[in-house]
């Protein structure tokens, strides 16, 4: 799927971002072997959600995962000022609890903003 030309998000269209429940499902798929991924590495996997949306799931540290949804081809826009209001990606940091086989949302980019999400993601990854 990733080998095909991917279209950008159409002008003034709402991106097809996943829900939290879908993000949790991507984290669970990655945790259990990434069977649904189209590309994998030792600590990450990429998924295809829609024609305009990719999902990157990353193991930050033991039982802490990051799920980031982004349009790989970007957006169509008419005025550069519109770029200031774009939500470049949507992300979640989740913790898996093996003893209860459940997930907890630690942070989401919608709650804290993209800059703070990136900072927290780096912090969790650093350890």
Q: What is the pLDDT of residue 16?
A: 78
- Under DSSP, is residue 84 helix (H, G, I), strand (E, B) or coil? helix
CA angle 113–97–117, rounded 5-degree value: 10
CA angle 36–114–8, rounded 5-degree value: 55
In this structure, is the dihedral angle defined by the CA atoms of residues 72, 77, 79 and 85, taken in order, positive or negative?
A: negative
Q: What is the pLDDT of residue 50?
A: 79
In this predicted model, what pLDDT tens digit does every residue of 38-71 receive, in sequence order? 999 999 999 988 777 889 999 999 999 999 998 8
Q: What pTM did the predictor assign?
A: 0.83
For the beta carbon of residue 25, count every other beta carbon within 10 angstroms.
17
């Amino acid at each position: 799927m990733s080998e095909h030309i991917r279209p950008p998000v159409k002008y003034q269209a709402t991106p097809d971002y996943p829900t939290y429940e879908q993000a949790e499902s991507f984290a669970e798929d990655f945790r259990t072997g990434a069977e649904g991924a189209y590309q994998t590495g030792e600590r990450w996997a990429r998924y295809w959600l829609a024609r305009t949306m990719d999902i990157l799931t990353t193991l930050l540290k033991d039982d802490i995962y990051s799920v980031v949804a982004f349009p790989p081809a970007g957006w169509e826009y008419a005025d550069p000022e519109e770029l200031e209001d774009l939500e470049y990606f949507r992300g979640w940091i989740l913790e898996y609890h093996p003893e209860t086989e459940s997930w907890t949302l630690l942070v989401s980019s919608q709650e804290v903003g993209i800059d703070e999400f990136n900072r927290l993601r780096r912090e969790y990854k650093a350890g």
